[in-house]
A and B are shown apart, each in its own frame.
Chain A
Amino acid sequence: MNELQIRKIVAGYDGAPVLSGVSFNVSHGELAAVLGPSGSGKSTLLRVIAGLVRPLEGAVVLDGHVLSGPRVNVAPEKRSVALVPQDAALFPHLDVLANASFGLPRAERGGARARDLLEMVGMSDLAHRMPGELSGGERHRVALARALATDPQVVLLDEPFSALDAALRIELRAQVKRVLCNAGVTALLVTHDQEEALSMADVVAVVDGGRLVQVGTPVQIYASPSSRWLAKFVGGAMVIPGIWRRGIVAGPLGTVPARLADGELALDGDSVDLVVRPEQLQVSKLSQNSTSGVVAMVREVSYFGHDSVVVLDVPGWAEPIEARVIGDHRWERDTEVHVNVMSEAIAFAASP
């Protein structure tokens, strides 16, 4: 029973529902990510759990205690649910130590517990700085220490890294994950960054348009997406039509080994939508002879150093095909290449 349960939450502002029936559970000590595009309602979900927005329907239950429900709405300060906002929201009139101590009883403010937490997030040297004198990453670390100081049962993180530059973001992600893990606290991270969700979380809940799309481990979300939309949203998959025949799909990319997505049915000869990710494609020189795959024209090449994205035109399909390739070979524009799918793709029955 040691878990946070989100049960069929319906919430909105001024009558327009932002969330329409979202449910999932987070086990004790787990880090869960709520992933969704902007405007999907994920921040509203966080505010519902924090008690800052009262849901119209549904319930939030923590370890068997109802926090929000039809007849119950525990005030935010009584929930033991701490929040790390997007902009850190440090109190500008208090120094780092006083910020970290904010949630403690008066006698303990500025004491050992706040100092321990600052030590843990690596901010003990700057204990007497004012928030205005801190960098973005430092502010978030103080905000995390402040949230943990109250010894909450749940910590909510609202896009905590979105305002930081790439290098800092990666460093801080690892640090925050370690701190949360050491603290043994249940955490819920809201993000629109799939990399962040997949790399940090134990459980990922994908939300779109106020509805839950899929819950699962990062591997499940990536490898077995429940819909075409999710495959496109997480991992930038392409959806290409084809004909299903005994584990093989024939289409613009030639004959591709595939499996049907969960809950999908197809008979031999049925049209299906094939979901292929850019890293599943292999690009090779024309001269090499190959049994599967097709000839394509290189339309554009984006070079990233560690890898490149090659945009291809294939006959019989109007949309561009993207292939993520590793290796030193420089692909030239307007040359013909051979492209084939290296691993098993996922097929969805074509919508009638």
Chain B
Amino acid sequence: MTLTRTDSGGEASLAPRVRVPAIRGRTLIAASAVIAALLAAIPLAYLVVRVAEADRSAVVDAMWRPRTLELLLNTSGLVLSVSATCLVIGVATAWVLTRTDLRGRGVWLVVSTLPLAIPSYVAAFGWIATTPLRGFWGAWLVLTFCNIPLVTLPTIAALRQAHPGAEDVARTMGRGPLAAFMAATWPQIRPAAIAGTLLVALYVLSDFGAVALMRFQAFTWAIHTAYGALFDRTLAAVLSVVLALMGILLVMLERRARGARAKLGSAVQARTPAVLVRLRRRSWLAHAGLAAVASLSLGVPLAALGRFLTGRAESAFTVSAGDLAADVWNTVAFAGGGALIALALAMPIGILSARHRSRLSEATESASYLGLALPGIVVGLALVFFSLTVVPSLYQSAIILAFAYGVLFLPKAVGAVRSSIEQVEPGLEEVARTLGSSPADVWRRVTVRMAWPGIGAGVLLVALTAMKELPATLLLRPTGVDTLATSLWRYTEASAYGAAAPYAAMLIVVAAVPAILLTREATGGAHRGPQEHPGRVSP
């Protein structure tokens, strides 16, 4: 068995004096990342410019009138009350599902994550179509029961990793069950629960559909009214800046909580499985509680949907299959375009932060997080101003709407690109170089081949999430063109619930896929690591 050496006599040109072109490639990526970050910052930057250019006294008036304070209090009150309720119910649910011997825990786990598949404005549609509930309590109810899973899922993951031994030790030292839980287990799951709660707060802050349908005077609805009904653009811009600052604050808090969680997760390893609490005759209480939560989060919206889907169409509005198909096509086209723009912006930012960590990569990655901090209504309004003054030809065009989606869902796309590229070990690329592949060949034959499934899934997720987007779509869609979300909105506003129902059903189908992915990601937390970002659920 000898190796037949292919004659390499003609290989004398071994050393064509070529310099490694890595530096040039890196500069190109860095430059593209900076451009992408600048594009992602357009909405916020232009909003600030718009306010700075406005008449100083008008800005001061808008800022200091009593109504702004009232909106601030309304929104803060809603954010705080929904977050607090979600925290309590979410942690309790997580505990019951992981630390008790409740029968049917697997089924209850699925049921308790299903609300993620119901966009908040679809749930709001269900409630106002069947009950007289409106105002603060209506908004509180809808947003709470849509967002509980955002606390439940990370808390379950943390509970599964938490060390149960500490709680046993606390019990042997004379603490009761609750005191032992608070002293030993709660500190281990707190970062996860808090991070989930801050995400809830962020979604409540940016929610437009539910508060508007419930006629609750929150910032988002006030911005929409100021722009759409009052034509007071300075007021709308000023309110948007305030809302944007609140969003940025919440994102910064969420980042910090997430960091604390990552630190804890690596230190704590569950060696022994927790001993399950035996509920015995108290188990019916647990069943009743979970059933009550499920009926409020799923039961009412789905029952309303069922009633209007099967019942006779009661009004002048009827939806033909053709209308529905046209809206589906628009939705898919806009969202698909948005996902491609998000991908184009995310590629350089993601590659830079996966491969060439530096201040620059951190700065461009932070800029991409603006999409998470800025509510859809703010991005929509900013791009309305931007397109009207800077590029009037793009005003209410499909391009500017897709761009808004691209900015809003950029964090998700950057996360997918970065984690997919990070998964390709640099050692593999180096080996490929020594085997005779140029940097471009290595990129094509190794890096892209290994990273594309993750990136593709991320793009799909962005597209599905963008399909549910409401506030920015309302402001930016081309005149006379509707998507599933805007049609649902129009019919519900006009109290044509029968016509709205098919759209609501379609939207639930669309939202189910990201919800399932998020559930798998969050409860399988040990494998995927805590750094994966949960999806943006409510628009």
Residues of A within 8 A of B445 (CB): 102
A87 CA to B438 CA in the complex, in Å? Answer: 22
A89 CA to B425 CA in the complex, in Å? Answer: 8
A73 touches B20 (CB 8 A): yes
How many A-B pairs have beta carbons closer than 8 Å: the answer is 109
A150 touches B20 (CB 8 A): no
Closest Cβ neighbor of B12 among chain A residues = A65
B432 CB within 8 Å of chain A: yes
Contact with A along B1-30 (1 / 0, CB 8 A): 111111010010011111111000000000
Residue in B2, B17, B431 whose beta carbon sits within 8 Å of that of A85 in the complex: B431
A139 CB within 8 Å of chain B: no
Residues of B within 8 A of A76 (CB): 20, 430, 433-434
In the assembled complex, the CB of B263 is this many whole angstroms from the nearest CB of chain A, namely 27
A73 touches B19 (CB 8 A): yes
B435 touches A65 (CB 8 A): no
From B3, B8, B425, B449, residue with most partner A Cβ within 10 Å: B3
Question: A135-152: which have CB < 8 Å to B?
Answer: 146-148, 150-151
A268 CA to B6 CA in the complex, in Å? Answer: 62
Contact with A along B412-453 (1 / 0, CB 8 A): 000000000000010110111111111001000110011000
A52 CB within 8 Å of chain B: yes
A156 CA to B434 CA in the complex, in Å? Answer: 10
A72 touches B17 (CB 8 A): yes
Closest Cβ neighbor of B2 among chain A residues = A182
Chain B, interface residues (CB within 8 Å), range: 20 to 34
Given A89-B425, A93-B450, is A116 in contact with B4 using a C-beta cutoff of 8 Å? yes
Residues of A within 8 A of B427 (CB): 85, 87, 89
Closest Cβ neighbor of A71 among chain B residues = B17
A79 CA to B449 CA in the complex, in Å? Answer: 25
Given A83-B434, A103-B436, is A74 in contact with B5 using a C-beta cutoff of 8 Å? no
Given A117-B3, A151-B5, is A79 in contact with B434 using a C-beta cutoff of 8 Å? yes
Residue in A50, A62, A72, A119 whose beta carbon sits within 8 Å of that of B434 in the complex: A50
A54 touches B15 (CB 8 A): no
Residue in A65, A79, A147, A148 whose beta carbon sits within 8 Å of that of B3 in the complex: A148
B435 touches A120 (CB 8 A): no
Residue in B6, B15, B16, B441 whose beta carbon sits within 8 Å of that of A113 in the complex: B6
Given A52-B433, A72-B17, A89-B425, is A119 in contact with B5 using a C-beta cutoff of 8 Å? no
Question: B354-412: which have CB < 8 Å to A?
Answer: none
In the assembled complex, the CB of A203 is this many whole angstroms from the nearest CB of chain B, namely 22
In the assembled complex, the CB of B95 is this many whole angstroms from the nearest CB of chain A, namely 37
B433 touches A119 (CB 8 A): no
Residues of A within 8 A of B428 (CB): 89, 91
Contact with A along B313-354 (1 / 0, CB 8 A): 000000000000000000000000000000000000000000
B6 touches A74 (CB 8 A): no
Residues of B within 8 A of A89 (CB): 425, 427-428, 430-431
Residues of A within 8 A of B2 (CB): 182
A150 touches B433 (CB 8 A): no
In the assembled complex, the CB of B132 is this many whole angstroms from the nearest CB of chain A, namely 58
Contact with B along A113-143 (1 / 0, CB 8 A): 1001101100000000000000000000000
In the assembled complex, the CB of B96 is this many whole angstroms from the nearest CB of chain A, namely 38
Question: A101-116: which have CB < 8 Å to B?
Answer: 102-103, 113, 116
A269 CB within 8 Å of chain B: no
A92 CB within 8 Å of chain B: yes
Residues of B within 8 A of A67 (CB): 15
A345 CB within 8 Å of chain B: no
In the assembled complex, the CB of B2 is this many whole angstroms from the nearest CB of chain A, namely 5
Residues of A within 8 A of B5 (CB): 151, 183-184
Question: A24-64: which have CB < 8 Å to B?
Answer: 50-52, 54, 62-63
B436 touches A150 (CB 8 A): yes
Closest Cβ neighbor of B6 among chain A residues = A151
Closest Cβ neighbor of A179 among chain B residues = B3
A75 CB within 8 Å of chain B: yes
Given A116-B3, A117-B3, is A91 in contact with B15 using a C-beta cutoff of 8 Å? no
Residue in A65, A85, A179 whose beta carbon sits within 8 Å of that of B14 in the complex: A65
Residues of B within 8 A of A301 (CB): none
Residues of A within 8 A of B16 (CB): 74, 78
B14 touches A54 (CB 8 A): no
Given A50-B434, A103-B435, A146-B435, is A78 in contact with B8 using a C-beta cutoff of 8 Å? no
A79 touches B438 (CB 8 A): no
A30 CA to B173 CA in the complex, in Å? Answer: 69
Residues of A within 8 A of B436 (CB): 77-78, 103, 150
Residues of B within 8 A of A78 (CB): 14-16, 18, 436
A82 CB within 8 Å of chain B: yes
B450 touches A92 (CB 8 A): yes
Closest Cβ neighbor of B427 among chain A residues = A89
A156 CA to B433 CA in the complex, in Å? Answer: 13
A182 touches B3 (CB 8 A): yes
Residues of B within 8 A of A73 (CB): 19-20
A83 touches B430 (CB 8 A): yes
Residues of A within 8 A of B450 (CB): 91-93
A240 CB within 8 Å of chain B: no
In the assembled complex, the CB of A73 is this many whole angstroms from the nearest CB of chain B, namely 6
Closest Cβ neighbor of B16 among chain A residues = A78
A300 CA to B189 CA in the complex, in Å? Answer: 50
A66 touches B15 (CB 8 A): yes
Residue in B1, B8, B435, B441 whose beta carbon sits within 8 Å of that of A147 in the complex: B435
A80 CB within 8 Å of chain B: yes
B430 touches A52 (CB 8 A): yes
Closest Cβ neighbor of B19 among chain A residues = A73
A81 CB within 8 Å of chain B: yes
In the assembled complex, the CB of A309 is this many whole angstroms from the nearest CB of chain B, namely 36
Residue in B14, B430, B441 whose beta carbon sits within 8 Å of that of A79 in the complex: B14
Given contact pairs A75-B21, A76-B434, enumerate 6 new A-B contacts (beta carbons under 8 Å): A81-B434, A91-B446, A156-B434, A179-B3, A182-B2, A182-B3
> Which 6 interchain pairs have the tightest Cβ spacing?
A103-B435, A76-B433, A83-B434, A183-B3, A65-B15, A89-B427
Residues of A within 8 A of B (CB): 50-52, 54, 62-63, 65-67, 72-83, 85, 87, 89, 91-93, 102-103, 113, 116-117, 119-120, 146-148, 150-151, 153, 156, 179, 182-184
Residues of B within 8 A of A (CB): 1-6, 8, 11, 14-21, 425, 427-428, 430-438, 441, 445-446, 449-450
Identify 20 residue pairs between A and B in the complex whose beta-carbon atoms are under 8 Å apart, listed by A's number: A50-B433, A52-B430, A63-B14, A67-B15, A73-B20, A74-B18, A75-B18, A75-B20, A75-B433, A80-B14, A83-B430, A89-B428, A102-B432, A102-B445, A120-B1, A151-B8, A156-B434, A182-B3, A184-B3, A184-B5
